[in-house]
A and B are shown apart, each in its own frame.
Chain A
Amino acid sequence: MQSSSPRSKYFSFREAINYSSSSGPFTEGHRVLVSSFLVVFFIVVGAWLLPEWTPYKNSITTYTWPVMLTTGWVQYWSLFCPDVRDRNYHLTALIEFADGTVKIYEFPRMEKMDLWTKFQREKMRKLFGDNIAWPNFAQFRPSVCRYLARANNDTTNPPISVTMIRNIVMTPPPDPKHWVYRDNLPQHINKEILFSYKVNANDLLN
């Protein structure tokens, strides 16, 4: 393809197929504008992605982080790194009602789903598996418990407590003594109590 068209004559159809017009070169002003944008982008993103041990990283990101948030440039590319997870787990909750009846609720559990449901509900895995299950997101656990209480509300027998449990098992190490095939992984036999929430009457209001 050529970017210029000879103005002295018209193209025939066959000639025209092989020619493209051009929006023309950028003006100096455009170039400066776009280049400035690019430089800001790379500084902001680059600072954020610097290794944690980088000197002055925190003092740089103090200034770049707000820009990153506002512009939507936030990015994490640490899937499976720095190290892979060596455990499997799922969350459950015990919901106790006023009369003492207890119900176990299993948060969306991907390995029990068929392929389509698993595909469809991937965000649930992210939400409960990657986030709520771990200390970095512990501040949301009261909200989750409140939600579960509302989702199980019964005016004649309201929920009074919600306890979140992480059911977990370590992946056996890949040595001949402990080897397990991928289709024969151990059950999540260990329980860790994550959070116990006393439901208030206000939590159940709409």
Chain B
Amino acid sequence: MTGTVIKILIVVAIFGVVLGATYPIQRQAVEDGKATNYDLLLGVQLRSTEARYKAAEKKPENIDELLAAGNAYATALTSSQDFAAAAKIYGSQLPLTWGLVTNAYNEKWANANLRLAGVYRDMDSQGAALTCYESLLKYDKQYLPATDSRIARDLNNMGLMLYMIGLGKAEAPERMAEFKKSRSYLEQALALQEKINLGKSARAAATLWNLFLTCRDLGDQKAAEQYRAQAQAIDKSLNRVCREP
């Protein structure tokens, strides 16, 4: 009986020591968690960016501040999943920035267009996002050198949107048609990245991963595996602190 009691006491002691030693760490983590609570911080961010944007709206002559404040507010809105409000802000930036530069590359308009595309993409309006990306591609091709990495970006994004549109189609022929178009854009993006020595970059890895999924869903397993292997090799070479699950 004494032996049993001693054994029980040992087990109880182990539990006591571990729980006792963990408690301060746990309490600190909970306190830190409260201080950095995501929803709480987002609420604060939302309120402050809204105030800034409203103030900037009253001074429309300061376009840079209006754009910056709009971007900050729209980002907070996106994080709160209020995509429609964010899209409205980015949409309002298009006419605002359009006339800023003539006969040259208008960076501000391009960025506004890109952000608007992003919101449409995130709110599951791939058709609208595709239109934005398409107009941006056309614009970039018009004003940028043919070897500019931004054109590769646009091609990649076009390809991705087409892939996502394809994912939403129930019938196989319709899916495949979108995937084929997607593959074409993505391969163009990859070819351009290789041409401008970005073939081993993280940007190329992003395109390769997109291509992997597109080819896999097209049923071209061989190409899919090749793209995956290339993407993995690039990811590995970047020695990141963690890897995708």
Contacts and interface: CB of A to CB of B under 8 A. Distances in A.
Contacts, number: 124
A60 to B, nearest CB: 23
A104 B161 CA distance: 10
A142 B38 contact: yes
Interface stretch (A13-21, A43-51, A73-81, A189-197): A189-197
B167 A187 contact: yes
A127 B75 CA distance: 28
A145 B15 CA distance: 34
Secondary structure class of chain A's binding surface, majority of residues: mixed
Interface residues of A, number: 51
Contact of B245 (A107, A191, A198): A107
A193 B124 contact: yes
Nearest to B231: A103
B235 to A, nearest CB: 8
B168 A189 contact: yes
A79 to B, nearest CB: 23
Contact of B1 (A27, A127, A165): A27
B223 interface: no
A169 B110 CA distance: 36
Interface residues of B, number: 48
A197 B42 CA distance: 10
A150 interface: yes
A206 interface: yes
Contacts of B121: 94, 102, 163
Contact of B123 (A128, A150, A193): A193
A139 B167 CA distance: 28
Contact of A96 (B118, B123, B149): B118
Interface in B150-202: 150, 153, 156-157, 160, 163-164, 167-170, 175, 201-202
Interface of B: 1, 4, 8, 15, 19, 38, 75-76, 78-79, 81, 83, 114, 118, 121-124, 149-150, 153, 156-157, 160, 163-164, 167-170, 175, 201-203, 205-207, 209-210, 213, 216, 238, 240-245
Given A142-B38, A151-B240, A193-B124, 17 more contacts: A99-B203, A100-B114, A100-B153, A102-B157, A103-B206, A103-B207, A104-B210, A105-B244, A150-B240, A150-B241, A152-B206, A152-B244, A154-B202, A156-B202, A157-B203, A189-B167, A191-B164
